[in-house]
Structure 1
Amino acid sequence: MIKVTAGADSPERCSQAFTVAAVAVASGVEVSLWLTGESAWFALPDRAAAFELPHSAPLPDLVETVRAGGLITLCTQCAARRGIGEQDVLEGVRIAGAQVFVQEIMADGVQALVY
């Protein structure tokens, strides 16, 4: 499980989280990526395309890798604060809250990283 709180406000932390998630998916690891805080915007179509960080993999590619082989969840409260609804997010992105987060984190063998 990877929880990313940073977005364009902290591009290095944001990129690190998505990079680790994508590499883990590519390595065959089951990945659950949680978008919270400013990273919530990357649940929307085309938002990742506006993100730029020199010497890092393009964020749209990282998002697609995670979406194709992992699970992406947008925090319920973070979505609500930004006016984001289920009809707004990328296909395959779910919106869920703390109860689901705790259930996932408490599962046997789950390790968490927070960025």
Structure 2
Amino acid sequence: MEPDKRLDARGAACPGPTVMVAEELKEMEPGQILEVLVDSEGIANDIKDLAEGEGHEVLEVEETDEGVRILIKVGGGSEGEEPSPEAVPITPEKVMIAQSNGVANPERAYATFLISEAALAMDFDVVIFGFMDGVTVLVEKEVRKVKHPQFPPLIEKAEEVLSNDNVEAYACELSVQARGITSEDLLEGVEIAGASKFLRLVTDPGVEVVWL
């Protein structure tokens, strides 16, 4: 089957390939075929989940000499067309990143914003809530210290995510008080919130919580 578009996502760090595919699918017409090439089966499975969750049909996933090849048929076809049993659209909900580790764990600090980026690409709204040591991922001077050779500086990723209109970010009031943090220390767009806000979010059935 000849694809309408090809996307080479090899070499991109997670969640880069998923974000790239999500953006590409938004630009394509119903019924068109997208061919994606990625480095590993794990990334391919992530893309498969994304595509099917957004109402597209995954036609093929196969390992080749060049990497793992995925064929995706864009959903939303002509009236009367039978949808794939697996291609059932989901209703976008809200994802909450509950961050309790902070910049002392760079991998989890990056994950706060990389997972947020992936969620936004999947049309979820995002809430980031930093509590305990996790508030440090929302403190500008602390975030500026974190760098990793595989990723952009953390401050760049944080500012990019927090500037999105579909992102809310909160720092736990108790945690900032305990650490002498003020609102002026926080990244732009971050608000200070108390336990009631946190509890309303984690008990809301429309919010999926990711604990970091």
Q: Residues 65, 55 of structure 1: CA spacing in aligned structure 2 closer, same or farther, 3 A cutoff?
A: same
5+ unaligned residues in a row in structure 2: which ranges?
1-95
**Alpha-carbon shift at residue 103 of structure 1 (Å):** 1.0
Normalised TM-score (structure 2): 0.49
Alignment of 1:68-79 (within 5 A): 68-69=163-164, 70-79=167-176
Deviation sequence 1:80-110 (CA, Å, 0-9, x none) = 1110122332222111122101112222321
**Alpha-carbon shift at residue 75 of structure 1 (Å):** 0.8
Segments ≥4 residues shifted beyond 6 Å: none
Normalised TM-score (structure 1): 0.84
Q: Which has the higher strand share?
A: 2
Q: Which secondary structure state, in structure 1, belongs to the residue aligned with residue 169 of structure 2?
A: strand
- State the identity %: 27
Q: Residues 25, 46 of structure 1: CA spacing in aligned structure 2 closer, same or farther, 3 A cutoff?
A: farther
CA distance in structure 2 between the partners assigned to 1:8 and 1:26 by the alignment: 24
RMSD over equivalenced CA pairs, Å: 1.8
Q: Is the counterpart of residue 80 in structure 1 residue 177 in structure 2?
A: yes
1:21 corresponds to which residue? Answer: 116
5+ unaligned residues in a row in structure 1: which ranges?
none
Partner AA of 1:29 in structure 2 = F
1:44 counterpart (139, 148, 164) = 139
1:93 counterpart (190, 203, 206) = 190
Deviation sequence 1:24-45 (CA, Å, 0-9, x none) = 2244310000112323223233
Moved more, 74-83 or 14-23: 14-23
CA distance in structure 2 between the partners assigned to 1:13 and 1:82 by the alignment: 20
CA distance in structure 2 between the partners assigned to 1:17 and 1:89 by the alignment: 16
Does structure 1 retain, via aligned residues, the 8 Å contact 2:144–2:155?
A: yes
Moved more, 86-95 or 74-83: 86-95
Q: Mark the structure with the bigger radius of gyration.
A: 2
Moved more, 66-75 or 19-28: 19-28
Q: Residues 26, 94 of structure 1: CA spacing in aligned structure 2 closer, same or farther, 3 A cutoff?
A: same
